[in-house]
Amino acid sequence: MADHSSHDPLAGIPFDLVPPSGAYGAAGEASVTVSTVETPFIALVVARNGFAASVAGRLGRAFGLEIADRAGAAMGAASTVVGTGPGRFLVLSKTEPDLAGTLRALLGAEAAITEQDDAFVTFDLAGDKVPDLLAKGALIDLDPRVFLPGHAATTVIAHVGVTLWRVHESGWRLLVARSYEASFTRFLVASGAEFGLRLENGTAGRG
């Protein structure tokens, strides 16, 4: 009988630790690159009843982005605003250390702000095979002809809650609750191995 364990890209890696950086699966040029990026400042904005349009407008003017109250990602050089529900916006910034405070000053009584800096781990997925990888765990249609750059979705992938958006033609960004990092990274490695996957992360070994 064939020894299947030799084909397991995760063989020998403790299931509760983040797999180490490196190449997994098919040899040759990796078709999928997975990296965990530090998006240091994240806050959730929930518009109070009746203020969704006003909040979207204020956020758009403040960050120089086109923001509507829908499931989409508005991306700028320093900040991204993702719609996760009616009147709910996840704001990500590279440059605002006190993002929640800035948003409170901006939105006043129109919204409730919650700091989420440490809530998520951010996965950057690059490569043309990313939709094929994600299709193994997703319940939604991520076909590149359907899920276009700027589209966003809050859903489950591999039974794990995910907010994802397509950054550009061959780049996708996923926010996953931080405590799922090891488990979700294993899903990515196992599902991307057939295409050849390169994992680059600075948090290997974390449980």
Partner 1 sequence: MRIPCPYCGERDAHEFAYLGDATVTRPDPAAADAAQAFHDYVYLRDNPAGAHQEWWYHANGCRQWLRVARDTRTHAIAAATSARVSGEPA
Binding site for partner 1 (CB under 8 A): 49-50, 52, 70-71, 84-88, 139-140, 153-156, 161
Note every long-range contact of 22-26, with CB atoms under 8 Å and residues 24 or more positions apart, other chains counting.
Answer: 22/198, 22/199, 23/196, 23/197, 23/198, 23/199, 24/189, 24/192, 24/193, 24/196, 24/197, 24/198, 24/199, 25/189, 25/192, 25/193, 25/194, 25/195, 25/196, 25/197, 26/193, 26/194, 26/195, 26/196
Size (the chain), residues: 207
Residue 118 CB, shortest distance to partner 1, in Å, is 20
Residue 154 CB, nearest approach to partner 1 (Å): 5
Q: Which is nearer to partner 1, 27 or 109 (CB)?
A: 109
- Return d(Cα 166, Cα 148) in angstroms, integer: 6
- Report the residue number, 53 or 78, with the smaller CB distance to partner 1: 53
Q: Residues 26, 127: contact at Cβ < 8 Å? A: no
Closest CA to 155 of 173, 179, 138: 138
Measured from the CB atom, the residue of 78 and 139 that comes closer to partner 1 is 139
Q: By C-beta, is 21 or 155 nearer to partner 1? A: 155
Minimal CA–CA distance to 85: which of 71, 74, 72?
71
**Min separation Cβ 158 and partner 1, Å:** 12
Q: How far is the CB of 50 from partner 1 (least distance, A)?
A: 4
Of residues 64 and 85, the one with the C-beta less far from partner 1: 85
Give min distance, CB of 35 to partner 1, in A.
25
CB of 69 to partner 1, least distance (A): 9
Closer of 17 and 160 to partner 1 (Cβ): 160
